[in-house]
């Protein structure tokens, strides 16, 4: 018999928009929660129309919102706000990403919702939170990575082609949401959690700030800057590149023996002239043979050497960690499977829903009449 998932029976209402909330939702669905996404009846979540599209829907929406239900409500209208308040009475968690104060103006703030459901957990994903000098300001992923110093760690002018702050903040919000549910289990009361998106890059930078306070000159300026021969990438004779992570002396010594430079067995983490000479000798060795040869030799010796893949090659190498998500109307999209390591999370999911596909059914479950359903869904 399959054990119940950790969040089985947990009802989540998602009124957030875009990627941070999507990351949080995907993980809560994987953990077994029932997620009902509340969307504007006219536009829906912008991720629905963010290209490229498959079957008329953005691939990002298809990827992150598989397994959820879609209800359309105009929250700016009295009917829509009243409907969400009624839904919140039966919910465990409500996710939102509006500017601080917006839900309060619609009579949907935490205090209002908690007055009718004291156990409700509300998770807010705003740019800077509701307190402090930046409260209420608007920003996007690039602003957060720039402000926190994350961009300064990249080559000048380069932008990360992944949304670091948005994804990381969504993952941090997973922990915050689970902590809030655990606290509710102990106290019987919910809580308002604010996970500011600007906090997303900070876990990556905590060591950097500590090293800055200590005057620098540590691993971030040396090993992680590519100044050590045992921790960098190298080009092979066929143009393929490999990533070497021989931090441990035994792996570096084995590689030096394999590459014919045993005299450099003690220089794996050196950032001075001996390390530079070892890197040059090793670069020449890697450049003398195709990548497949080096990968085979390294695997035989247990040396941490991997190909530098593009996404197409990574999809092949990570095939066991991928899943196929159905696309409404036919076809599928292949993306990474459940990110979390809890057992039993990898399972089939219903495709991402069409806009408002579940409105009538979900509202009917809550006792709305047909006339009321027509009024609140726009």
Same structural domain, 166 and 298? no
Q: Tell me the C-alpha distance between 95 and 21, whole Å.
A: 7
User: Is 212 a member of any domain?
Assistant: no
Domain final position from 307, 332, 364: 307
Residue 87 token pair? 């839904």
Same structural domain, 302 and 325? no
User: Is 267 a member of any domain?
Assistant: yes
Domain count for the chain: 2
pLDDT of 225 reads 84
Same structural domain, 75 and 37? yes
pLDDT of 81 reads 96
User: Is 362 a member of any domain?
Assistant: yes
Q: Is the dihedral of CA 360, 362, 364, 368 positive or negative?
A: negative
Instruction: Provide the 10 A C-beta neighbour count for residue 61.
Output: 23
Instruction: Provide the 10 A C-beta neighbour count for residue 8.
Output: 11
User: Is 217 a member of any domain?
Assistant: no
pLDDT of 329 reads 77
User: Is 349 a member of any domain?
Assistant: yes
Contact 95, 15 (CB under 8 A): yes
Domain residue limits at 266: 223-235+241-307
Instruction: Provide the 10 A C-beta neighbour count for residue 112.
Output: 15
Residues ≥6 apart with Cβ < 8 Å to 271: 222, 223, 227, 228
User: Is 218 a member of any domain?
Assistant: no
Same structural domain, 157 and 133? yes
pLDDT tens-place values along the chain, 378 residues long: 456 899 999 999 999 999 999 999 999 999 999 999 999 999 999 999 999 999 899 999 999 999 999 999 999 999 999 999 999 999 999 999 999 999 999 999 999 999 999 999 999 999 999 988 888 899 999 999 999 999 998 887 788 899 999 999 999 999 999 999 999 999 999 999 999 999 999 999 999 999 999 998 888 888 888 899 999 999 999 999 999 999 999 999 999 999 999 999 999 999 999 999 999 999 999 999 999 999 999 999 999 999 999 999 999 999 999 999 888 778 888 999 999 999 989 888 999 999 999 999 999 998 888 888 877 755
User: Is 208 a member of any domain?
Assistant: no
Nearest to 48 by CA among 167, 40, 363: 40
Cis preceding-peptide flag for 52 (omega within 30 of 0): yes
Same structural domain, 287 and 148? no
- Using CA atoms, how far residue 101 sits from 7, 173, 177, in Å, is 29, 20, 21
Same structural domain, 51 and 180? yes
Supply the CATH number for residue 231's domain: 3.30.1540.10
User: Is 210 a member of any domain?
Assistant: no
Residue 205 token pair? 């930078």
pLDDT of 1 reads 40
Same structural domain, 48 and 172? yes
Same structural domain, 337 and 191? yes
Domain final position from 284, 307, 330: 307
- The three-state secondary structure class of 84 is helix
Domain final position from 307, 333, 348: 307
Same structural domain, 106 and 255? no
Same structural domain, 194 and 229? no
Same structural domain, 256 and 342? no
pLDDT of 61 reads 96
Supply the CATH number for residue 68's domain: 3.40.50.10540
pTM here is 0.94
Same structural domain, 83 and 185? yes
- The three-state secondary structure class of 342 is coil
């Amino acid at each position: 018999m399959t054990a119940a998932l950790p969040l089985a029976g947990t009802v989540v209402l998602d009124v957030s928009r875009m990627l941070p909330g999507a990351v949080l939702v995907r993980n809560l669905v994987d953990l077994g929660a029932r997620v009902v996404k509340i969307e504007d009846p006219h536009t829906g979540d912008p991720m629905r129309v963010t290209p490229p599209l498959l079957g008329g829907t953005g691939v990002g929406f298809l990827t992150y919102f598989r397994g959820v239900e879609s209800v359309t409500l105009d929250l700016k209208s009295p009917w829509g706000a009243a409907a969400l308040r009624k839904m919140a009475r039966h919910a465990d968690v409500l996710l939102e990403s509006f500017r601080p104060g917006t839900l309060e103006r619609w009579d949907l703030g935490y205090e209002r919702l908690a007055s009718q459901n004291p156990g409700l957990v509300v998770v807010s994903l705003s740019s800077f939170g509701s307190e402090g000098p930046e409260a209420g300001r608007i920003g996007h992923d690039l602003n957060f990575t720039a402000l926190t110093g994350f961009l300064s760690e990249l080559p000048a002018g380069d932008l990360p082609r992944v949304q670091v702050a948005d994804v990381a903040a969504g993952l941090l919000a997973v922990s915050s949401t689970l902590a809030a549910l655990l606290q509710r289990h102990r106290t019987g009361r919910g809580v308002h959690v604010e996970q500011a998106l600007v906090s997303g890059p900070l876990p990556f930078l905590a060591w950097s700030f500590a090293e800055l306070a200590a005057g620098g000159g540590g691993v971030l300026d040396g090993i992680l800057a590519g100044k050590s021969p045992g921790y960098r990438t190298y080009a092979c004779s066929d143009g393929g590149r490999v990533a070497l992570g021989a931090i441990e002396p035994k792996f570096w010594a084995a590689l030096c023996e394999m590459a014919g430079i045993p005299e450099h067995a003690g220089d794996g983490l050196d950032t001075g002239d001996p390390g530079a000479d070892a890197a040059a000798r090793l670069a020449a060795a890697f450049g003398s043979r195709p990548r497949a040869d080096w990968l085979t030799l390294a695997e035989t010796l247990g040396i941490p050497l991997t190909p530098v893949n593009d996404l197409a090659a990574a999809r092949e190498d990570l095939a066991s960690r991928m899943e196929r998500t159905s696309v409404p109307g036919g076809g599928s999209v292949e993306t990474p499977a459940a990110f979390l390591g809890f057992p039993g999370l990898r399972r089939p999911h219903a495709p991402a829903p069409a806009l408002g596909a579940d409105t009538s059914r979900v509202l009917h479950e809550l006792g709305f009449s047909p006339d009321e359903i027509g009024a609140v869904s726009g």
